[in-house]
Amino acid sequence: MNIADLRKSYEKAELSETASHADPLQQFDQWLNEAIKGEVPEPNAMTLATVGSDLRPSTRVVLIKGYDARGIVWYTNYNSQKGRELAGNPYAALQFHWVEMERVVRIEGIVEKVSDEESDEYFKSRPLDSRIGAWASPQSEVIDSRTVLVTNAAKYGAQFLLHPPRPPHWGGYRLKPDTWQFWQGRKSRLHDRLRYTLQDDGGWLRERLAP
C-alpha cells in the first residue's frame, strides 16, 4: 500500500452560513455536544500548539476541562515545556479533530492562568491517583527510568495519604479566543470552512474560506 494512495471521501454533513451560529462559542458547544452524544473517542481531546523562545513550534494533546465566554480551559504542570513556552509567549492555538464526524475546530488566542480558586476546585475533583501523579511527575524533565515516577508516587502517597494539596507548580490555563475556524469535510475536497474573527466591538465577523 502506497501511503499517497490513502484517501477518504467526506460526505456526512455540511456547514453553511445560514445553518451555523453567529457566535462561534455556540457553534463549538453544538459540535462538541454532538461529538459526545455520537460517542466519538475522547471528544474532549485537543491539540495544543505553543511556540518557544527559539521560535520552534511544539504540539501535544491535552483535555478540555471547561469553556464559556471567557475561553477554553485545561490543566497541567506550569513547569512543563508548554508551561515554559506560554510564560515566554502567551499566544497559542488549539485544535479538535473529530474524525468520525469529519469535523475540525481550530481556535487561536492569548493564554492566561486561571485563578488559584479555580485550580484548587478542579484539583480536588480529580481521582486520588491523579492528584498524587501531579506531585510525582517532574513533567518534561529527563528521568533515569520509570522507577523515578513509581518511587515519587509512593513517597507523596505516604506523605499526603488521602488529601494531597494542589502543587504550586500545577494549575489551569485559559485560552481567550480571537479566531475560530470550523471545518466540515465535503465531497470532492470542496470542504466547508468558516472563520470567525473577533472585532473591536466584541462581535464576531464570520467569513467563508476556500478549503
Q: Which residue has the cell 504540539?
A: 59
Q: Which helix (H) or strand (E) holds 49?
A: strand 45-51
Residues 170, 159 contacting (CB under 8 angstroms): no
Extract the C-alpha cell encoding 148.
523515578
Please report, for the chain, how many H helices and E strands are present, in that order.
5, 9
The active-site residue out of 70, 189, 195, 206 is 189
Active-site residue flag, 56: no
Extract the C-alpha cell encoding 109.
488566542
**Alpha-carbon distance 119 to 170, whole Å?**
8
Q: How many CB atoms sit inside 10 A of residue 177's CB?
A: 24
Q: Three-state DSSP class for 68?
A: strand
Catalytic machinery residues: 189
